[in-house]
Chain A
Amino acid sequence: MSTPRSHDLLQDSPGKRLCLLGNLAIVRGAVEAGVQFYSCYPGTPSSEISDTIAQFAGRTGIHFEYSVNEKIAVEIAFAASLAGVRSMCGMKHLGLNYALDPAATMPYMGVEGGMVIVSAGDPSAITSPNEQDQRHFCRFLYYPVFDPATPEDARRMTRYAFEFSEKTRLPVILRPTTRICHSSGMVQLGTLSDKRKEIGFHKNPPRYVPIPSNAQRMRTELSARFRQAEELLSASEFFPRRGNGRRGIIASGIAYAYVSQVIDELGVAGDISLLQIGACPIPESLLVDFLNSVDSVLVVEELTPFVEEWVCVSAFRAGRTIPVFGKHTSHLPVEFEYTPDLVEDAVRKYLELGERAKTSVVVPELPPRPPVLCPGCPHRTSFYLVNRVFGKRTIYCNDIGCYTLGYGEPLHACDVLLCMGASISLASGLARTTGQRTVAYIGDSTFFHSGLPALVNAVRADDTITVVILDNYITAMTGFQPSPTTDTERLKEPVPTESPPVADGNGRFSIEDAVRGLGVREIYSVDPFDEKATLAALKQAKRGKGVNVVVCHSPCVVHERRTTRLGKRVPYEISQEQCNACSLCVRVLGCPAILTEDGKYWIDADLCDGCDLCARLCQQDAIHAMTPERVH
C-alpha cells in the first residue's frame, strides 16, 4: 500500500483515468513514448521519476542507470540517442548545471533518437540552495522547454517531446516544478507507442564531431531546426485558450492551474481570455493573435518574467501596444512559489475587483519541525568525534547530503556550503589563504559525483586539509538510491548494472583504493561507532601535513532497517534516579529521540535506534539499554 504500484503505469488501457503523482505521470508519458534508455542522478523533487523507472526497467528492457553524476547521465543518454534510441535523463534543476558542458553543445550536434532531459525546478528553494528558472535554457542554448501545469500536461508533454525531439533533432527539456512533481491529478492513459528506430550508430564524423569547422555549419543548421521547433509547437495542443473576454491573462506552469481555479471561483471567467504557455519557444504568431484579441494582459508565472518579457517583445514587434501587467508592474513577485491566494490577489488587482476579504484567523507561532539527523545516524557520531578532536577553531566545509543537517546547534558541522563536491575545494581555498585547519565533510555518493577532481587538485597543490568521507553505503537524502559504495548484491531489487563495479570483496566500490590511487598517502578507515579507533585516527589526521582522508564507514540506519530483517536495536532509557539533569546529551548530540521538559529528561523509545552514543557520553551513567521485559 505504501509503495507506488509501478505496474499500473505499464498497462495498455488507453482512455483509462488514474489519479497519479506528477512524477508518475511523467513516467507514464515516457512509457507511452517507448523510452528505451534512462539515466539519472537523484535530486528532489525529481527522484520518484527515476526510482519508479528503476522498478520496472529490468523486465521491460529499458537500459537504466543511476549515473555517478548528471554530466555522465546526460552524456551517456546522448550517446544512446545517437544510436537511434529514445533516451531520457532525470535530475533536479541544479543537476543540469553540472551537466551543462555536454548539454551546451548537444543542440548543435543534434540527436537521432528522441532525447528528453527532465530537470525538475524548485521555486522557493524548498529542498535546494537556490531557485533558478530552467526556461532560460530555451534562449540560452536553444532547448525547447516544456512547462506542465498539471500531471496530465506532464504525461502529454513527455509523450509528445520524444517525437518532437526526433523531428527537430533537438534535445528537449521538461521542466516540472516541485508543485507538479509532488501533486497528484487525473491522468488519462494514452496508447503505447511501438515506433522504434533501428538501433545502430552510423559513422558520420561531420555530423558528430563539433570541431570549429563543423560547429559553424551546425550553428546555422541549429537556427533552422529551432525555427522548425517553433512551427511544430504552434500546431501543438500546449497553448490552449479559454474564453473570449477582452481582459487577457497569460499563465504557465502551476500558476495556470491557480488562475484557472481563481477565475472560476470569482465568477469572472466570461470576461477573460486565458492563454496557457505550455512550452517555449513561444510561437510568435499564436502569441500575437492572442494579443490582438484582448485590450490588456496579465502574465502569471513563477520565478523570472520569462513569458512576460517574451510577450512584451512580441507585442512591440507586432505594433500591438496594450498594457502588459505582471512582475514589472508589481502585480506579482519574482521570488518564491505562488499560492492560490497570491494569484487571486493579482487577478483582483488586475480586474479592479477590490481586495480579498481578509480572514480574521489568528495564527499562533508554533514550534517548527526542521529536518534533523535521524536517531542512530552514524553522521552524528562522526561529527561529535571530529568536534572533540578538531574543536571550534577549525573551519568545517560541508557538502550536499544528509550530513548538511549537521548545520547549526548543537553539532556546528557546517561553516560553509556551496554545491555538490565543493567541500574539498572550499577547504583547500580556505586552508591555503588563512593557514587555519580545515575539515571537508563529504558523503560517499557526493564524493564520487564531484569530489574526486577536487581531491586530485588538493593533492597536487599540497594543501593541508582533512577530508572526512562519511560513507553510509547509500544516497540517503533523496530516498536511498544506490551509490558506488552500495553493496548491490544485498539490495532487495538489484539495480541492473552493465558492468560489475571494482569491488573490495563485498560488492562495494572501495573509497580507500580510489583515494590511494589519487595520491593521498595518509588514509584512515574507521567505524565511527568505534570511538577509540576513530578518535585515534582523527588525532593523527589533525597532526598531519598535506591532504589526509578519514573514511567513516557505517550504514544508514534507516536504510538498514528497511532492507534487512534485523529489526530495530534495543532502545535506551534514562534512569530518573541517576540523571542529574546536566543536559549534556541534549546540548552535545541534538538527537531527536532525547526529550526534556521541566528538568526531566527521557528517551522516546519509538524513535531511539539504540546506537548507544548518548549512553557513552553520559557522565552519570544514567542511560542504559532497556531491559527485555520493558521493551514492548
Chain B
Amino acid sequence: MNKGNGRCNRRGWRVVIAGTGGQGVVTAARLLCECFAERGHEVVSGQLHGMAQRGGAVQSSVIIDGGISPMIAAGRADFVVGLEPVETVRALPLMSSRTTVYMNITPVMPFVLAQRAVREGQPRILGAVPTTKTPLALQSKYPEIVELERYIRAVTNNLVKLDATRLAAEASSSAALNMVMLGCLLGSAVLPCTADAFSDFVAARSPGALREANVKAFRMGFEAVKAGDTG
C-alpha cells in the first residue's frame, strides 16, 4: 500500500488556545464551540490541564468540521492563540509552517522560578546570569520574549504579537484578556464566521454587567490585528 503520506485528507479548522489557569482559556474555547455549533458546524473540543488550579498550564483545542478526535495531532494546528508567552511556546509541537500564532507578550510568572532563584544562591543579590546553554526549564528567570519568539519563528513565520493584557486593561480589566485574543483570531483568521457575527454572539452570551466590556475588548483585539498594531 503506497498511501499514508498524510495531510492530504485534512479537513476543517483546528484552533489551540493556550494560557494559564484563571486567564479564561476554557471560557474562550467554549465560546468558540458554542458559536460554531449554533451556526451548524460540527465542533469537538479537548482540554489539557492537570489539577484545576489557578496558575497551572491550560490548553484547549477547538476543531471545527474536522472529525471526531478532540485532540490535535503534532503539527496539525491551524491557529494557536497564546494568552501567555511561555504557554504559547508549550504548544509548539502542535505547530507547523502553516500555523498562524497569536501571542500575548505579557507573562504570568511561574512561581517555581522564585523557588529556583532562592535555591541557586541565597541571598541572590547579583545573581548569576543564566547562559544561553541553560535549558529554559532550569533557568530561574522568565525567558526573554525574543528568545521564545525565536523558537516559534523556527517553525512558522506567521506570528502576531501583541500586548493583549494591556489592551484588556484599557478596554475594561485584565479579565477580558481572552476576549482581546478572540478578537485577534476572528479578526484575521479565515474561519467560517465573521468578526461581527462572533461579536454579536459574545454580546448575547455575556451577563449584563460584562456585556459592554467583553465586546469592547473583543473589538480592541480585532482592531489591533487589522491595524497591524502588534508589538
**Residues in A lying within 8 Å of B, measured CB to CB:** 1-2, 17-19, 44, 126-127, 149-150, 179, 182-186, 254, 257-258, 260-261, 264-268, 271, 339-341, 344, 348, 351-354, 356-357, 359, 361-372, 374, 409-410, 477, 479, 558, 580-583, 586-587, 590-592, 594-599, 604, 606-607
Interface flags, B103-121, vs A, CB<8A=1, else 0 = 0000001111111011100
How far is it, in angstroms, between the C-alpha of A226 and the C-alpha of B121 when the chains are bound? Answer: 65
Determine the residue in chain B with the shortest Cβ distance to A592.
B111
Give every chain B residue within 8 A of A179 (Cβ-Cβ): 46, 70-71
Whole-angstrom distance between the Cβ of B139 and the nearest chain A Cβ:
7
Asked, given contacts A1-B27, A264-B9, A364-B89, whether A340 binds B69 with beta carbons under 8 Å apart, the answer is yes
From B9, B86, B111, B122, give the contact of A595 (CB < 8 A). B111
Most chain B CB within 10 A, of A150, A184, A367, A606, is at A367
Question: Are B123 and A268 closer than 8 Å at their CB atoms?
Answer: no
Stretch at the interface among B30-38, B192-200, B221-229: B30-38
Q: How far is the CA of A185 from the CA of B68 in the complex (A)?
A: 8
- Which residues of chain B come closer than 8 Å to A127, judged between CB atoms? 50-51
Q: Are A361 and B93 in contact (CB under 8 A)?
A: yes
Within 8 A of A (CB), among B135-165: 135-143, 151, 154-155
Residues of chain A within 8 A of B54, CB atoms compared: 374, 558
CB of A271 within 8 A of CB of B89, answer: no
- Within the assembled complex, what's the spacing in Å between the Cα atoms of A184 and B26? 11
State whether A599 touches B125 (Cβ < 8 A): yes
CB pair A590–B68 under 8 Å, yes or no, is: no
CA distance A362 to B117 in the complex (A): 26
A-B residue pairs in contact (CB < 8 Å), sample of 23: A44-B51, A127-B51, A149-B68, A179-B71, A182-B46, A184-B30, A185-B43, A266-B6, A339-B71, A353-B3, A354-B4, A361-B75, A362-B151, A369-B55, A370-B56, A582-B122, A583-B117, A583-B123, A594-B111, A595-B111, A596-B113, A597-B140, A598-B141
Which residues does chain B contribute within 8 Å of A604, judged by CB atoms?
109
Interface residues of B (CB under 8 A from A): 1, 3-10, 20, 27, 30-31, 33-34, 36-37, 42-47, 50-57, 67-75, 86, 89-90, 92-93, 95-96, 109-115, 117-119, 122-127, 135-143, 151, 154-155, 174, 205-207, 210
A363–B6 CB distance below 8 A: no
Task: Please determine whether A364 and B43 come into contact, CB atoms closer than 8 angstroms.
Answer: no
Interfacial chain B residues near A357, Cβ < 8 Å:
5-6
From A271, A341, A583, B74 is in contact (CB under 8 Å) with A341
Q: How far is the CA of A287 from the CA of B142 in the complex (A)?
A: 55
CB distance from A611 to the nearest CB of B (A): 15
| Chain B residues with CB below 8 A from A607, complex form | 55
Q: Are A356 and B6 in contact (CB under 8 A)?
A: yes
Q: Given that A1-B27, A364-B135, A365-B135 are known contacts, is A19 also in contact with B45, CB under 8 Å in the complex?
A: yes
B92 — which chain A residues lie within 8 A by C-beta? 361, 363
- What's the minimum C-beta distance from A592 to chain B, rounded to whole angstroms? 4
CB distance from A129 to the nearest CB of B (A): 12
CA A261 to CA B63, docked complex, whole Å: 12
Contact B8 A267 (CB under 8 A): yes
> With a CB–CB cut-off of 8 A, which chain A residues contact B8?
267
* Distance from B16 Cβ to chain A, minimum over Cβ atoms (Å): 13
Chain A: minimal CB distance from B197 (Å): 17
Asked whether, in the complex, the Cβ of A365 is within 8 Å of the Cβ of B44, the reply is: no
Check A362–B1 contact: CB distance below 8 A: no
Chain B proximity of A116: nearest CB distance (Å)? 23
| Chain B min CB distance to A501 (Å) | 28
B44 touches A183 (CB 8 A): yes
State whether B45 touches A597 (Cβ < 8 A): no
Contact of A264 among B67, B122, B124 (CB under 8 A): B67
The closest CB in chain B to the CB of A370 belongs to B112
Are A598 and B51 in contact, with the CB atoms below 8 A? no
Whether A351 contacts B1 by the Cβ 8 Å rule is: yes
User: What are the residues of chain B within 8 A of A583 when measuring CB–CB?
Assistant: 117-118, 122-124
Closest 5 CB pairs between A and B? A365-B137, A183-B70, A19-B37, A592-B111, A353-B4
Within the complex, the shortest CB–CB distance from A286 to chain B, in Å, comes to: 22
Q: Is A595 a contact of B109 with CB atoms below 8 Å?
A: yes
Given A183-B44, A266-B3, A361-B75, A595-B114 contact (CB < 8 Å): yes
Known interface pairs A597-B141, A598-B141. Does A17 touch B37 (Cβ–Cβ under 8 Å)?
yes
Q: Which residue of B lies closest to A375 (CB)?
A: B54
Residues of A within 8 A of B1 (CB): 268, 271, 351-353
Query: Are the CB atoms of B93 and A595 closer together than 8 Å?
Result: no
A1 contacts B37, C-beta separation under 8 Å? no
Asked if B95 contacts A361 (CB within 8 A), the reply is yes
B86 contact from A348, A367, A370, A580, Cβ within 8 A: A367
Task: Judge whether B114 and A367 touch: CB under 8 Å.
Answer: no
**A254 vs B71: C-alpha distance when bound (angstroms):** 10
CB atoms of A372 and B55 under 8 A apart: yes
The reply to whether B95 and A186 form a contact with Cβ atoms under 8 Å apart is no
> Which chain A residue shows the least CB distance to B69?
A261
**Cα(A344)–Cα(B4), bound, Å:** 10
The answer for the CA separation of A351 and B4 in the assembled complex, in Å, is 10
A602 and B179 CA atoms in complex are apart in Å by: 29
Bound: A524/B44 CA distance, A:
52
Check A599–B136 contact: CB distance below 8 A. Answer: no
**Alpha-carbon gap, A362 to B136, bound state (A):** 13
A586 and B111 CA atoms in complex are apart in Å by: 10
Residue of A184, A354, A362, A365 ringed by the most chain B CB atoms within 10 A: A184
Residues of chain A within 8 A (CB-CB) of B93 are: 359, 361, 363
A258 touching B37 in the complex, CB below 8 Å, given contacts A267-B3, A597-B142 = no
Q: Are A372 and B53 in contact (CB under 8 A)?
A: yes
| Chain B residue at smallest Cβ distance from A374 | B54
